[in-house]
Structure 1
Amino acid sequence: MTVGRHEDDGDADRAESFGEMLLGGLLDHVHRLPPDRIGPALADAVARMGGREVRILLQDYGQRNLVPLAGDGLEDGDAVPIDGTEAGRCFLTSRAVEVPVADGVRVHAPLLDGGDQAGVLAVTLDAVDDDVRRLLRRLAALAAATLQTKNGYTDLFFRARRGEPMSVAAEIQWSLLPPLAMRMSRVAVAGVLEPAYDVAGDSFDYALNGDVLHLAMIDAMGHGLDAATMATVAIGAYRHARRISVELSEIYLFMDRAVAEQFAPDHFVTAQMLRLDTGTGLLQWVNAGHPAPLLIRDHRVVRRLNSPTTLPVGFGGDQPRVSEVALEPGDRILCFTDGLIEEHESGEEEFGEDQLIDWVNQLDRADREVHAVARDLSHTLKRARGEATSDDSTLLLIEWRG
């Protein structure tokens, strides 16, 4: 409906347009919908704008496939590989992809919430113009935000994303994690954990508080539930210290005390804590037993961010020294756990940091989003290691956009 004006006062006509009616109808009722009705409600909205063959495709935990969400009005079928498909291209670029088909146009729209790429909304329409693109983009954004909100009330979306049986330790770790990706105007973050369905001691966390991005990566010793439990305590202590705004070096002391009080003297957690001022690009960090992060500039590793280290968390090390570096716009920082470089077959050499750097230089050559680079890097490194994952291996990629 075209927006007009009142003749008496010149105020804009508040009559509802088609797009407002469609989105408003969802917004008015979505808070009352049970999680299993979100997909059907979206399919109904798409049908009202002339769309059909609706699929909601969610990223699996291994970050290899897009799996369909089941529901009335939604197309079912096999999972779609992320690599080499139109839906995967939409997912990796965070941009809509349109494909002519026999009966119209197949549109893939990214499901974006806070910069986290949850998956893809795929629909078929007779034709597409700018009005349709705008409305579909807004429907996808509403769907992504709603799925994120309802995820806290259900196992439905978790089950859809799980492509393999998952260990109890991995269940604990995934429940600890923030979204795997965040993309804001000044900063972007993306993380990957391997093996996705059996990870135990590795974890990471981040929070954007005003202009300051806080990050931590940890690796609890051992495997299985013991490691997952230790990681839970370490991340909990990190969040507590971060939220009461203690200094970066003191965060280590909070984590160290929490682990030491709960576990035997020979138990420990390696850790790395970072603080990025997104206004100035000043990066500060503390290292407690992790490999040094890598600074990537103009798509190449230019240096290791070596720094004084302290003992792993739980061993009662001294208050650590804080290191810092001034980033340039577009710089990326790669943090990783030792499982990424120490993997080797019996009697063979370790994969090593030099090989890691070679692969980073090959894979980070184009202007791609950090979540696509992090995913590609993790999977490529796993193949280069002969698909071996005897230890958890985690990477965290941060970009300062300036």
Structure 2
Amino acid sequence: MAEGESKRDKARMDRSEGFGERLLGVLLDRAHEMPPQLIAPLIAEGVAQVGGREVSILLQDYGQEFLVPLPGRGLLVGEPEAIGDSAAGTAFLRMTPVEVARTDGVRVYLPLLDGSDEVGVMALTLGSVDDDDRRLLRRLAGLVADMLVTKHAYTDRFFQARRRQPMSLAAEMQWSLLPPLSMSVPQVEVAGILEPAYDIAGDSIDYALNDDILHASVIDAMGHGLDAATMATVAVGAYRHARRAGISLAEKYAFMDQAIAEQFGPDHFVTAQMMDLNIVTGRLKWVNAGHPAPLLIRNHEVARQLGGPATLPVGLGGPPPKVSEYTLRRGDRVLCYTDGLIEERGRGGEQFGEERLIACVNRIELTGEGLRATALLLSHTLKWERGATSDDATLFLIEWRGGTADHLAVLE
């Protein structure tokens, strides 16, 4: 194309700044150097620009039962709202805006999504809502989520707002180690839950989506308290180091095994479930190092265990593991969990067991909820049926959908 034609095409493009662009642009420009304590009034001012009022930022608490208000100048601070039984909770679980008519207007609840990780919910009141409002508010909520995630690295205030009870040092270490507990792209989605949230020690999860491969691991370090948290930290660090080196599942196991043995000696170990899922083909590979076998969920019920040869937990010098393989169907879900989920004694004193876990999964799957909602509902149901949690109990769900995400890279 000639230079003159390029200039004429550019001249014909409308590059003027509309209201929505100006509002989002000003927020983005200000956010770069904004101290964390000024994020709240900046958000409130941005909402006021579109005629909104009574702005609340609700963050998920560590127990994943409530959305708790973030205090700050310009924000409305009310009572925590239950995730399972509130308009805010519905917006959070279903990742979609919810509108509630009131005598003074419309209360709008917008999920705060950083990528697909659910940060919380932004609530505000408008006199009325039209499609232009909905589009702008959805984008505003996305920018607010990014601001919160960015600024939380510079302050303790967001962590403090999410805590509804004291947290142990071991749990503090584990939460700082975790990746986002949910992630969703067109081909695959994951969701994890760790309990007891404020006293977790040896359990952890980790994952990464590298091109077409989802790498995931569920880890359970022996013991309790700070010793278990320290061992889990080393195990996750070793897993990440090995994963980023691009080595095979069997080699990851060997690397983690050596790291735990050298650091803690022959009397300590970590059980682990390590998986690689090709998100294009659905081919799943895994190594089971002393974990309960994952459950395959198909058509809203547990279809089978994903068994196969198990090897010794890492740290005990086991032989090279055999890698199991299975091809998923679109819509299949895989549930990984630690033994604390089934070995807990129920209210009557009996061990909870795998059969009752499967019954709970089947019952909850019939609700047809999304993966994140299913994980939370399953966790809440298990906590109620098992009673108090005396050991770490972790679950990690993967849903494979297949297909492609190339359309997201095309601007139309």
Q: TM-score, normalised by structure 1?
A: 0.96
Structure 2: which amino acid aligns with 1:259?
I
**1:87 has 2:88 as partner:** yes
Matched, 1:390 2:394: no
Q: Give the alignment of 1:48-197 within 5 angstroms.
A: 48-197=49-198
Q: Secondary structure at the match of 2:343?
A: coil
* Local SS of the residue matching 1:32: coil
Structure 1 counterpart of 2:400: 400
Other-structure match for 2:12: 11
Q: What is the CA–CA distance in structure 1 between the aligned matches of 2:249 and 2:18, rounded to whole Å?
A: 51
Given that residues 346 and 385 in structure 2 are in contact (C-alpha distance below 8 angstroms), is that contact kept between their aligned partners in structure 1? Answer: no
The Cα shift of 1:328 comes to 0.6
Q: Bigger shift: 70-79 or 282-291?
A: 70-79
**Secondary structure in 1 matching 2:12:** coil
| Aligned mates of 1:332, 1:193 — CA distance in 2 | 18
Q: Separation in 1 of the partners of 2:297 and 2:346?
A: 29
Contact 2:98 2:110 in 1 (8 A): yes
Alignment CA distance shift 1:317-1:68 (3 Å):
same
Cα RMSD (Å) of the superposition? 1.5
Q: Which amino acid in structure 1 is aligned with residue 376 of structure 2? A: R
- Give the secondary structure class of the aligned counterpart of 2:268: coil
**1:41-63: per-residue Cα shift (whole Å, max 9, x none)?**
11100001100000000000000
Aligned-residue offset at 1:151:
1.5
Q: 1:80: how far off?
A: 1.0
Q: Tell whether 2:220 aligns with 1:219.
A: yes
Contact 2:57 2:75 in 1 (8 A): yes
Give the distance between the partners of 2:9 and 2:87, measured in 1 at CA: 52
Distance 2:347 2:36 in 1: 48
1:347-372 Cα offsets, whole Å, 9 max, x none, are 93210000000010000124322111
1:314 corresponds to: 315
**Alpha-carbon distance in structure 1 between the residues aligned to 2:184 and 2:38:** 28
One-letter code aligned to 1:389 = T
What is the identity, as a one-letter code, of the residue corresponding to 2:93? L
Identity among equivalent positions (%) equals 63
Return 5+ residue gaps in structure 2 as ranges.
Answer: 1-6, 403-412
* Structure 1 letter corresponding to 2:149: Q
1:324 deviates by 0.7
Instruction: Report the Cα distance in structure 2 between the residues aligned to 1:295 and 1:52, rounded to whole angstroms.
Output: 46
CA–CA distance in 2 between the matches of 1:118 and 1:139? 14
Between the two proteins, the alignment pairs up a number of residues equal to 396
In 2, the alpha carbon distance for the partners of 1:105 and 1:348 equals: 49
CA offsets, 1:317-364, max 9 Å, x none? 011000011001110000000000000159932100000000100001
Unmatched runs of 5 consecutive residues or more in structure 1:
1-5
Could you tell which deviates more after superposition, 289-298 or 71-80?
Answer: 71-80
Distance 2:376 2:281 in 1: 28
Q: What are the residue-to-residue correspondences of 1:29-48 with 2, within 5 Å?
A: 29-48=30-49
Runs of 4+ in 1 over 6 A off after TM superposition: 6-9
Q: Which residue of 1 aligns with 2:266?
A: 265
Cα drift, residue 13 of structure 1: 2.8
Q: Which residue of 2 aligns with 1:370?
A: 371
**What is the DSSP-based 3-state SS (H/G/I as helix, E as strand, rest coil) of the residue aligned with 1:83?**
coil
* Secondary structure, counterpart of 1:55 in structure 2: strand
1:228 and 2:229 are equivalent in the alignment: yes
In structure 2, distance between residues paired with 1:137 and 1:325? 39
Which position in structure 2 is the counterpart of 1:3? none
